Amino acid sequence: MSQKNQTLGEFIIENQTSFKYTSGELSRLINSIRLAAKVVNHEVNKAGLVDIIGAYGDTNIQGEEQQKLDVYANEKFIQTLTNRNIVCGIASEEEDDFITINSQDENNQNKYVVLIDPLDGSSNIDVNVSVGTIFSVYRRVTPIGTPVTIDDFLQKGNQQVAAGYIIYGTSTMLVYTTGVGVNGFTLNPAIGTFYLSHPDMKFPKDGKIYSVNEGNYIHFPQGIKDYIKYCQMEEGNRPYTSRYIGSLVSDFHRNMIKGGIYIYPSTSKNPNGKLRLLYECNPMAFIAEQANGKASDGFTRILDIQPTELHQRVPFICGSKSMVEKAEEFMQQVTVST
């Protein structure tokens, strides 16, 4: 049984046997994500400083070319996963196509593929609002030792073997699941170690926070408009509170701790919504369900959606189970009545 203040490394070792694929590779994969998270965290936390320094031109005071942080984060996660020779393929929001790792090495017995949003919400960096990294892990479905194909990435979310996020906020946390619950680790920056601070995280079944960009209200489906009005009505434990950080990882993390619902629906401008299925919605949905929450597009469980392309978008409703089910009710009522 995990105990508070256990380090991430100790936790991985202790819980490795509980993971059905106990090859140790997944543990090494989580460890490589841990390393990349620390490197990116260092850079994110000095972003403001770098911006000030970088103001003297295109290079910073060390003469380094100033990189956009999401490009930097993308490079660090890809580099770490590649260098440790753990995965056979990577897909990223920052890469048009998937990346094949060591395909020329027929001895490449690596069986995992990773999909990442290296720095979600990066537009918030300039205003010092928390941002995050999201990752999703699958076992490949094509033969080991051959180059990965798109089929290895277009798997349903219910096939994920691990998923997690790093939130670069007032503190830096790594929250992940391997299908046996959700655990949160907080970084002690002084010594660069993640400690188990939030064991066995669970969404409260109900909540009083709804997170949606109401600036798009007039473009929402009628069911979402009706649900938002329901949240605002004086009745029972309502009105709810509206909280929207504009960073999925931050809104999700707060809702998981306090109870709440996050909604990024389809709009007339974006019929499939904005969020990406493979490296945003699927990993967050896996975590949500492992934490007794729920995630759907209003009609279909996110984890059951068959992906058709790497960067496809889906409407996303996720959070406390009873809140998601109420939003689905409004969505499905309108469909029936229209």
Q: Are 172 and 133 in contact (CB under 8 A)?
A: no
**Under rule CB under 6 A, residue 70 binds ligand P6P:** no
Among 37, 69, 92, 121, binds ligand P6P (CB under 6 A): 121
**Under rule CB under 6 A, residue 172 binds ligand P6P:** no
**Under rule CB under 6 A, residue 16 binds ligand P6P:** no
Q: Is 274 or 321 the residue whose CB approaches ligand P6P more closely?
A: 274
Q: Which residues have CB under 8 Å from 63's CB, separation 6+?
A: none
Token pair belonging to 265: 């629906």
DSSP string over 141-181:
SSPTTS---GGGTS--GGG-SEEEEEEESSSEEEEEESSS-
Among 7, 31, 213, 312, binds ligand P6P (CB under 6 A): 213
**Under rule CB under 6 A, residue 263 binds ligand P6P:** no
**Under rule CB under 6 A, residue 274 binds ligand P6P:** yes
Greatest C-alpha distance within the chain: 64
**Under rule CB under 6 A, residue 133 binds ligand P6P:** no
Stretch that binds ligand P6P, among 186-194, 245-253, 291-299, 330-338 (CB under 6 A): 245-253
Tokens 């926070």: give the residue. Answer: 209
Chain centre distance of CA 132: 8
**Under rule CB under 6 A, residue 41 binds ligand P6P:** no
Tokens 């997170």: give the residue. Answer: 211
Q: Is 149 or 213 the residue whose CB approaches ligand P6P more closely?
A: 213
**Under rule CB under 6 A, residue 313 binds ligand P6P:** no
CA distance 183 to 291: 9
CB of 269 to ligand P6P, least distance (A): 10
Q: Is 38 or 254 the residue whose CB approaches ligand P6P more closely?
A: 254
**Under rule CB under 6 A, residue 92 binds ligand P6P:** no
Stretch that binds ligand P6P, among 50-58, 101-109, 151-159, 243-251 (CB under 6 A): 243-251
CA distance 204 to 229: 22
Size of the site for ligand P6P (CB under 6 A): 9
**Under rule CB under 6 A, residue 254 binds ligand P6P:** no
**Under rule CB under 6 A, residue 102 binds ligand P6P:** no
**Under rule CB under 6 A, residue 247 binds ligand P6P:** yes
Chain centre distance of CA 242: 21
CB of 213 to ligand P6P, least distance (A): 3
**Under rule CB under 6 A, residue 246 binds ligand P6P:** yes
Q: Is the peptide bond before 239 cis (omega within 30 degrees of 0)?
A: yes
Q: Is 140 or 274 the residue whose CB approaches ligand P6P more closely?
A: 274
Q: Sheet harboring 131-139: ordered strands across?
A: 99-100, 87-92, 112-120, 131-139, 162-168, 172-177, 182-188, 193-198
**Under rule CB under 6 A, residue 270 binds ligand P6P:** no
Sign of CA dihedral 27, 285, 201, 42: positive
Which residues contact ligand P6P by CB under 6 A?
120-121, 213, 246-248, 251, 274-275
